[in-house]
C-alpha cells in the first residue's frame, strides 16, 4: 500500500478553487472608484458570478455610527458557498465579502471605542 500523493487534489477541491477564482475575477473587474457609495451585488444565485455594481443609499449617520471608507474586502469559501446557493434560497440582491479593511472617515460623538477619524480598521 502506498501513501497518497500529497500533490494530488480531489476533484471537489479543484472545482471549488475554480469557482472561487471565477468569483474573485468577477469582483475584481468591479473595483473602480465611484463618488457614490456602491457595492457589487448578485441578483440571481443561479448566475453567481454575474455581479452588478449597485449604488447604495446609506442610512442617516447617527451618534453611534462609524463611517468606513473600504479599501479592501476579502471573499472566502463561506461567501462562495452562500452565493452559489449552498445555504439555500437567498434574498437578493446578495453582497459577498465580510472581511473588510478600511479607514474610519467619520466617527459618531457617542462611539466609546478608541477610534479616531482617519484611523485604519480591520
| Domain CATH code at residue 64 | 3.90.180.10
CA separation for the pair 93, 51 (Å, rounded) = 10
Query: Cβ of 69: how many Cβ atoms within 10 Å?
Result: 12
Residue 97 lies in a domain: yes
Query: Quick one: cell of 108?
Result: 459618531
The total number of structural domains in the chain stands at 1
pTM of the model: 0.55
Which range is least confidently modeled, 20-24, 32-36, 104-108, 113-117? 32-36
Which range is least confidently modeled, 32-41, 66-75, 95-104? 32-41
Domain of 96 in residue numbering reads as 11-121
- pLDDT tens readout for residues 94-105: 777 778 888 888
Amino acid at each position: 500500500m502506498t501513501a497518497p500523493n500529497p500533490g494530488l487534489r480531489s476533484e471537489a477541491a479543484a472545482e471549488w478553487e475554480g469557482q472561487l477564482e471565477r468569483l474573485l475575477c468577477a469582483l475584481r473587474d468591479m473595483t473602480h472608484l465611484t463618488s457614490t457609495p456602491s457595492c457589487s451585488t448578485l441578483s440571481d444565485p443561479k448566475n453567481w458570478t454575474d455581479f452588478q455594481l449597485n449604488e447604495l443609499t446609506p442610512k442617516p449617520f447617527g451618534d453611534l455610527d462609524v463611517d468606513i471608507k473600504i479599501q479592501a474586502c476579502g471573499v472566502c469559501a463561506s461567501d462562495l458557498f452562500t452565493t452559489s446557493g449552498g445555504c439555500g434560497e437567498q434574498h437578493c440582491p446578495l453582497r459577498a465579502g465580510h472581511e473588510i479593511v478600511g479607514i474610519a472617515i467619520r466617527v459618531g460623538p457617542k462611539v466609546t471605542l478608541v477610534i479616531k477619524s482617519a484611523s485604519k480598521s480591520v
